[in-house]
Amino acid sequence: MYVIMVYDVNVKRVNKVLKISRKYLNWTIRSVLEGFLTKESYESLKRELLKVIDEKEDSVYFYLIDTDRQPHKIVLGEVRTDFKFIG
Amino acid sequence: MYVIMVYDVNVKRVNKVLKISRKYLNWTIRSVLEGFLTKESYESLKRELLKVIDEKEDSVYFYLIDTDRQPHKIVLGEVRTDFKFIG
């Protein structure tokens, strides 16, 4: 399945969340990562994230798209290639 | 089709981009909006955005998902309900 992940976490935890997430997904823009994941690796990513986020303050959204083809992605303006830690 | 939009624009233009986008899509979290759009309304949204963004500096990403069902969305932690202008 194709997964799009968006995080909104306390700046203290951004590095940890990003480090974990980038083991599984590709950084795209701002606080968004994406990529193909098996169910098992998606569950593993969730478990790792749940160990570092504060569920009362942080948010991580997953869009799970049941497809074996990458969703069509259109970019207006600049393609973000520079990876910078996004708070 | 289901559309997930992510913007990364100069803070001077966030309000305009958000105002336009919220006519078509629902704000979800951070700089992400989503919802069902027809091809025509998607094209209309793009035209409006292209009038206000600076294509050399700003980025707007669209994920176009060819489905009539909302992608499965999982939230870890807090569901973002408070809408605040996200720079």
pLDDT at A21 over 90: yes
Q: Tell me which chain B residues have a C-beta less than 8 angstroms from the C-beta of A46.
A: 74, 76
Q: Tell me which chain B residues have a C-beta less than 8 angstroms from the C-beta of A54.
A: 77
CATH of the domain at A28: 3.30.70.240
Q: Within a domain: residue A78?
A: no
Average pLDDT score over residue span B60-65? 94
Name the residue among A54, A58, A63 with its Cβ closest to that of B4: A63
CB contact under 8 A, A66 and B57: no
Residues A86, A18: Cα–Cα separation, whole Å: 9
Average pLDDT score over residue span A47-75? 93
Share of residues in chain B with pLDDT > 90 (%): 79
Share of residues in chain B with pLDDT > 70 (%): 93
Domain count, chain A: 1
Residues A36, A26: Cα–Cα separation, whole Å: 9
As a residue count, chain A comes to 87
* Banded model confidence at residue B83, pLDDT cuts 50, 70, 90: low
Instruction: Please report the pLDDT score of residue A14 as a whole number.
Output: 95
**Domain enclosing residue A54, as ranges:** 2-65
Paired with A77 in beta bridges are B59
ipTM (interface pTM): 0.85
Q: Within a domain: residue A47?
A: yes
Q: Within a domain: residue A82?
A: no
Q: Within a domain: residue A35?
A: yes
Tell me which residue of B57, B42, B43 sits closest to B12, measured CA to CA.
B57
Q: Within a domain: residue B82?
A: no
Q: Please list, in sequence order, all residues whose beta carbon lies within 8 angstroms of the beta carbon of residue B45, skipping any fewer than 6 positions away.
A: B20, B21, B23, B24, B25, B37
What number of CA atoms fall less than 13 Å from residue B34's CA on the CB side?
Answer: 18
Average pLDDT score over residue span A21-41? 95
Tokens of A37: 């994941």
Q: Tell me which chain B residues have a C-beta less than 8 angstroms from the C-beta of A26.
A: none
